[in-house]
Amino acid sequence: MAQSLFKVLKREQPKVTIDVLAPTWSEGLLQRMPEVRYIFPHTIEHGQLAWQERRRISQELRSQGYQQAIILPNSWKSALIPFWAKIPRRTGYRGEMRYGLLNDIRKLNKLILRKTVEQFVALGIPPNSPFSGPGGNLGQQVPNPRLSPGQVEKVLQRLGLEYPRQPTLAICPGAEYGPAKQWQPADYVTCAKRKLSEGWKVWIFGSPKDASLGARIQALAGEGCINLCGQTTLPEAVDLLSLMQFVITNDSGLMHVAAALDKPMIAIYGSSNPGMTPPLSNNAHILYLGLKCSPCYQRTCPKKHLKCLRDIKPEQVLDMLKSYE
């Protein structure tokens, strides 16, 4: 979602240079964003103080002569490095009372900026812009992310895979946040079996935490289904997803990756809100029941029935997929 901000910065200031300070795990994604010149990867974990490491990074940034820092997280700690680096203009939302640390403080109105991507992009335009205030049409100005695949052939060779000669369905059954975001494995199996019977191949994508889930779906789906959960790095997953004809996914990081590759997809939402963090692609279709208890934003269903996901049936997904073919 930050790439939409980068695109707007480049659009409004064609000669601007964009460097990014971000967690190490995101480095491969940022390398696939042509707007980014240089990446400063860090290993500071969420919630960790890491005073010495923040001081070290700030010293490194100070020597670069930056004119502005845009701080996307709302935490107090995230504003320390730009402050210590003495970057003249430090832009961000007030967040955790960051007076002094920021000197270009924006007030976040979630009634106007409903989507996270809109909140990011708004930090890249003047606060008095006609797009950012009440009645503005910022949403119409937000470009979709677009990742550029890397060394596809190299990834295929490393994994012993052939370039897909048949239509291939990607399924992304995991969700880091928790089971309240995960469509039922049996429903993924039903979809996989149907497409396999129609001559498709099925590749399962996910993190090492999803490896057993992927193996279970692969075993039940049968021949022609390949489990790649835990077998790829995130950048490699980007490259392989670029080969897919269609994606079925939970609301997850891989959903956003597939959207940034402009893959036709069905995104299945349970406990989260598609109005806030939708897949940023015109090729994405969202399945969300919008029950009275939704969105609850819980990791596990507080009512124990998980109807927001259980009541989305494979037939709905398959019918929707058919309409895309």
Q: Which residues are CB-contacts of 45 (< 8 A; sequence separation ≥ 6)?
A: none
pLDDT of residue 135: 45
Neighbouring C-alpha atoms within 13 Å toward the C-beta of 152: 12
Q: Answer whether 2-141 and 152-324 agree in fold.
A: yes
Render pLDDT for 163-190 as a digit per residue (tens, 0 to 9): 999 999 999 999 888 899 999 999 999 9
Reduced to 3 states, what is the DSSP secondary structure of residue 295?
coil
Mean pLDDT across the chain: 93
pLDDT for residue 324 = 76
pLDDT tens-digit series, residues 188-216? 999 999 999 999 999 999 999 999 999 99
CATH architecture of 2-141: 3-Layer(aba) Sandwich (3.40)
3-state secondary structure of 2: helix
Percent of the chain clearing pLDDT 70 (strictly above): 96
CATH placement of domain 152-324: 3.40.50.2000
Residue spans of the domains in the chain: they are 2-141, 152-324
Residues paired with 21 in a beta bridge: 40
Q: What are the tens digits of pLDDT across the range 50-98?
A: 999 999 999 999 999 999 999 999 999 999 999 999 999 999 999 998 9
Q: 134 pLDDT exceeds 60?
A: no
Three-state secondary structure along 64-127? CCCCEEECCCCCCHHHHHHHHCCCCEEEEECCCCCECCECEEECCCCCCCCCHHHHHHHCCCCC
Q: What percent of the chain has pLDDT over 90?
A: 87
Q: What is the distance in angstroms between the CA of the first residue and the CA of the last residue of the chain?
A: 28
Q: pLDDT for 1-17, tens place per residue?
A: 999 999 999 999 999 99
